[in-house]
Structure 1
Amino acid sequence: MGTFKIEGGHQLKGEITPQGAKNEALQILCAVLLTPERVTIHNIPNIVDVNKLIDLLENLGVKIQKLGKGSYSFQADDINLEYLESEQFKKDGRGLRGSIMIVGPLLARFGKGYIPKPGGDKIGRRRLDTHFQGFIKLGANFRYNREEYFYGVEAETLSGTDMLLDEASVTGTANIVMAAVLAKGTTTIYNAACEPYLQQLCKMLNRMGAKISGIASNLLTIEGVDSLGGTDHTMLPDMIEIGSWIGLAAMTKSEITIKNVNWDSLGVIPGVFAKLGITVEKKGDDIFIPEHENGYEIQNYIDGSILTIADAPWPGFTPDLLSIVLTIATQARGEVLIHQKMFESRLFFVDKLIDMGAKIILCDPHRATVIGHDFKSQLKATTMTSPDIRAGISLLIAALSAKGTSTIHNIEQIDRGYEYIDDRLRAIGAKILRVD
């Protein structure tokens, strides 16, 4: 188990470039299974979750060639479907939440798709019903082995249909879209997710020959086609990493420039940080965070009541950044209520912040009230364990601002979502050491 040793209390300074988007990568990589032709993808992040998926695709028989840093070509012209029923696949698939998204492409192209119950973050219940209800609507037969937690869908032919998703699931929408593009007839998906990463997937599929309209809305219309071809695709910068660096700069009173952020895809993210009193300046396609020498003050609502920051489906605020917001609020001037609506275990890392001296009231599994210190009382170093990716980066930010040397165990969780994070932070002045 890996460990970070972090000497906190130092100001950072410099430029940092966000990696390619993790959540987009997991969708885009699965889409290469839809065609026997070559697909080239750029700006792929070198992180554990993405590398696990690339390995899984290679085990499936996808021909993979590394072209350069973050650039790969994929060709799925000789898929080994027997691997799907092997013990090795059951082991490989369980280790990655994103593995669920191979099912839609495999079902569409080969008439069957299997997956063991996927792993990933321990952040509460994450249902798969939306995925499989969509496949069943398209005409697939569903089976589930309870003893092995193994799911399967099979169909001789998929047929277009109208469906209303029970939740605006990003991975569920992506999976159903990838199945529907090769179905016979027209499919409409209402209450579809419309995150920038889902938009990227739909645009890529259209370049491959799909016919998807309504992109960026919650009503997608998909006219099925007989086959798809190859394409080139470049992934967006990771908006969650961008939000992480905004929070890091504020919490450590540092002057940081975040390069090439693709402002058009950030939605409300800059505005939410502005509500916390953080100055987020647009400089071309970069974000500049000045040194917050006098701290930052949380806004109240216009009637004077306490601000609430809650997650919501896009274009609402992404749940992946609520842990960051909660952490940086511990040093703000004022109070804020954090409402995590989607996952019931994601706030359970706050006990570690309380151990560091933060003033947080955990109201219930979904809500926490934070009373900021206004930097009058610095967080204190401690030893902690990272429970998931986003809590892990939040604890790392807290440690970088704290007085003394902190230890974070189980940093494999952070590595799942952040590329070379210790090297990149050291480049802007962080005192961080990786210990095996």
Structure 2
Amino acid sequence: MASFRVKGGLKLKGEITPQGAKNEALQILCAVLLTADKITINKIPNIRDVNKLIELLSDMGVKVEKIGPESYTFQSDEIDLKYLDTEDFLKKASALRGSVMILGPLLARFGTGKLSKPGGDKIGRRRMDTHFTGFQKLGANFNYDKQKEIYNIDGKNLKGAYMLLDEASVTGTANIVMAAVMAEGKTTIYNAACEPYLQQLCEMLNRMGAKISGIGSNLLNIEGVKSLKGTEHTLLPDMIEIGSFIGLAAMTQSEITIKNAQIHRLGIIPDTFRRMGITLEFRGDDIHIPAQQNYEIDTFIDGSILTVADAIWPGFTPDLLSIILVTATQAKGTVLVHQKMFESRLFFVDKLIDMGAQIILCDPHRATVIGLDRKYPLRGIRMTSPDIRAGVALLIAALSAEGTSIIDNIEQIDRGYQYIDQRLNALGADIVRID
């Protein structure tokens, strides 16, 4: 198990380019199974979750070729369906939550799918009902072996259907869309997720020959086609990294420019950080954060305490609430952070409290942060990263703290952020990776 040794209190300066979006990559990579033609994908991040999925696809028979530092070609013309019955497949798939999105393409093209219960972050219940109810609406037969925790799906005769999703699940919507693009007839998906990453997937599928309308809304209409062709696709910059770098700049009083941020695809993320008192300057498609000695949290119009809550897109993404929370610890003012979607995602705040932060964990979903306005800097401690987003929040806290911190279990951070230590060290940080 690897750790980071982090020297705090250093001011960073320079430019940083966000990696390709992790959450988009997991969807797009699964979509290569929909055609026997070659697909080229650019801006693929070199992170553990993505690399594991590429390895899984390769084991299934996908021909993978790296043609550049962040570019790959994929060709799924010789898929080995028998591999789905092996222990090796079930073990590798269960280690990666994103693997669930191979089911939609497998059903669409081959009429069958199998998967063991996916893993991922320990951030609370993440049920799979939306995925499988959608498949069943399309005519698939579903069987779950409770003892072995294996999902078996037969979808040889998928037909278009109307469905109202029980939740606007991003991965659930992506999975159902990929299953429906080659189903016979018309599929209507209401209460669909509409995140930029899902928009990217739908636009890619349309370039491949799919007929999807309503992209960017919560009502998708899909006319089934018989086959899809190859295409080229470039991933968006990772909005979670962009938000993390904004919080990092504020906490460490650093002057940072985030390059090529695709600002028009960030929704309310910049405005939410502005409500935290952070100054952002848009310079073309770059975001410049000047060094700020102090930043003050906004209040509601009547003077009451600001609440920042997650919501389905175009609301604020839950993946950045950990960053908002840690950034608030050194702001002036108070904020209530309300994590509605996952009941275990705030359980890293005990580490911040040990560092000297003033936080009241009201319940599994809400935390009140009382900003210290830098009068009482955080102090370095030893801590463990519980999940990807909390891990980066703790890294930001350590970089802003007095003294040295040790962050254990950084494999969690590596799952979502490529070369994070090297990239931040290039800005002036002092992060050492130790085994």
| Aligned equivalent of 1:315 | 314
SS at match of 2:351: helix
The residue number in structure 1 matching 2:138 is 138
Aligned to 2:18: 18
CA distance in 1, matches of 2:348, 2:114: 34
| Structure 1 residues 183-262: aligned runs within 5 Å | 183-262=183-262
Distance, in Å, in 1 between the alignment partners of 2:87 and 2:18 is 37
Distance in structure 1 (CA, Å) of the matches to 2:84 and 2:347:
35
* Aligned twin of 1:45: 45
Structure 2 residue matching 1:69: 3-state secondary structure: coil
Give 1:156 deviation, angstroms: 2.0
**How far, CA to CA, are the matches of 2:423 and 2:162 in structure 1?**
47
1:236-385 matches, cutoff 5 A: 236-293=236-293, 295-385=294-384
Distance across 2 between alignment mates of 1:139 and 1:64: 32
State the alpha-carbon separation in 2 of the partners of residues 420 and 214 from structure 1.
37
Show the counterpart of 2:107.
Answer: 107
Contact map agreement 2:16 2:259 (CA 8 A) in 1? yes
SS in 2 for 1:245: helix
Q: Distance in 2 between matches of 1:145 and 1:92?
A: 18
Once the two structures are superposed, what CA deviation does each residue of 1:163-209 show, in whole Å capped at 9, x if it has no partner? 00000000000000000000000000000000000000000000000
Match of 1:403 in 2: 402
Partner residue in 2 for 1:58: 58
Alignment of 1:45-124 (within 5 A): 45-124=45-124
Counterpart of 2:354 in structure 1: which amino acid?
D
Letter aligned with residue 87 of structure 2: E
Secondary structure of the corresponding residue to residue 372 of structure 1: strand
Deviating more after overlay: 146-155 vs 335-344: 146-155
Q: Deviations over 1:50-74 (max 9, x none)?
A: 0000000000000000000110000
- Letter matched to residue 165 of structure 1: L
CA deviations over 1:258-297 (Å, ceiling 9, x no partner): 000001110000000000000011000000000002x100
Residue type of the alignment partner of 2:298: Q
1:155 CA displacement:
2.1
Deviations 1:270-329 (A, max 9, x none): 000000000011000000000002x10001000010000000000000000000000010
2:170, 2:195 within 8 Å by CA — same for their partners in 1? yes
1:239 counterpart letter in structure 2 = M
Query: In the TM superposition, what whole-angstrom CA distance separates every residue of 1:24-64 from its partner, at most 9, and x where no partner exists?
Result: 00000000000000000000000000000000000000000
> Structure 1 CA distance, aligned partners of 2:341 and 2:317?
10
For 2:155 and 2:349, the matched residues in 1 are separated by 46
Partners in 2 of 1:187 and 1:156 — Cα distance? Answer: 16
> What is the rounded CA distance, in whole Å, between the counterparts of 2:413 and 2:195 in structure 1?
23
What SS does the aligned partner of 1:351 have? helix
Task: Decide whether the 8 Å contact of 2:21 with 2:236 is kept in 1.
Answer: yes
Q: Which moved more, 1:47-56 or 1:143-152?
A: 143-152
Please give the secondary structure, in 2, of the residue aligned with 1:225.
coil
* Corresponding letter in the other structure for 1:325: I
Aligned residues of 2:107 and 2:156 also touching (Cα < 8 A) = no
User: Which residue type is aligned with residue 298 of structure 1?
Assistant: I
Query: Secondary structure at 2:120's aligned position in 1?
Result: coil
- TM-score, normalization by structure 2: 1.00
Runs of 5+ in structure 1 lacking a partner?
A: none
Separation (CA, whole Å) in 2 of partners of 1:34 and 1:401: 46
Letter in 2 for 1:131: H
Distance 1:152 1:263 in 2: 41
Q: Which amino acid aligns with 2:244?
A: S
- Amino acid of the residue matched to residue 324 of structure 2? V
Q: Distance in 1 between matches of 2:264 and 2:116?
A: 37
Q: Secondary structure at the match of 1:336?
A: strand
RMSD of the alignment, in Å?
Answer: 0.4
